[in-house]
Amino acid sequence: MGLLDELEQEASRRRNAESGEEAGRQAREVYWREQLQPAAIRLGEYLGKFAATLTAAERRIRLVYPVPGYGDVVAFGEAPFECRVTPGQVQHEIEFSFAAQASPEESTLVVAETPGKVRLVNSLLQQHHLSGLHDVNKNANGEVVSGRFQARGRIPVKVQVLASAETGNLRMNFTNVEAFGNAQRLFTADALTDELFDNLGRYLLRQNAGFSREKVGADVRRQLQTQVQRDQVRREWEAKLALQLREDEARVKSLMAASASPSAFIGRVGGSLRRLFQKGG
């Protein structure tokens, strides 16, 4: 094969690749314009009406957030419920949001009887920007040595939606809906039906425990199971450390009480030394 033939074949391959890329680009544009974008617009309209109706009805949404090491934080979402839509030529954004107020009366009551337990529970709540310590007792140094906890604070709840011509899908990101933190779902245009919109509304009202649980493969399932096991081990270690901390504090208090009597303290130390020398002999 001559040089010109080789160059011609190379040029032909490039033209075919560019033609394939152009065909793919045009197909994505058609899919976006005729399917995904209209579905995203309908979802924005649904969430806009949903927010307006909830606000007009003065609806309260009861949310329960489990916090390992503390218990359940119960909160109520109230008006205003807001929906902001940002359309674009190649993407469509939606944000549905409201604030939930923690209810101390319905949240778990934790009695912290040691400084270590006070610090532990306070840290767990602060991770979620919450407070709730009351009925405190302090020592002579002003350190809180005991108290009671019932969660207080505001919790932002959001659903952020992004439909993109580039990715060819619609992504929903949920913040603080069924638990603290974020969860994500991906959808193609044909999945964005009226039934799915209704299920989404019921999920946000906490009438449905979950929303669009995807079926996962064996590898992903094993990864999720491993993560659950790791979380369980971590929670068990946190509980053990908290217990050890309480025992250590009790032991320190016992030694301090003993040291208040010099003769008892000296006698205890002397006895320990005698046993040590006897073993050495």
pLDDT digits (tens, 9 = 90+) for 165-216: 999 999 999 999 999 999 999 999 999 999 999 999 999 999 998 887 544 3
Give residue 243's pLDDT: 61
Mean pLDDT of the 3-21 span: 74
Give residue 220's pLDDT: 42
Q: At what angle do helices 218-259 and 262-280 cross, to 10 degrees?
A: 110
Residue 233 sits in the same domain as residue 108:
no
User: Is 64 contained in some domain?
Assistant: yes
Q: Which domain holds residue 243?
A: 220-281
Residue 225 sits in the same domain as residue 208:
no
Q: Tell me how far the alpha carbon of residue 74 is from its chain's centroid.
A: 15
Residue 210 sits in the same domain as residue 224:
no
Is residue 83 within 8 Å of 96, Cβ to Cβ?
yes
Kindly indicate the confidence band of residue 217, based on its pLDDT and cuts at 50, 70 and 90: very low
Give residue 7's pLDDT: 72
Give residue 264's pLDDT: 55
Residue 48 sits in the same domain as residue 92:
yes
Listed residues 214, 245, 270: the one ending a domain: 214
Between residues 25 and 205, the one the model is more confident about: 205
User: Is 5 contained in some domain?
Assistant: no
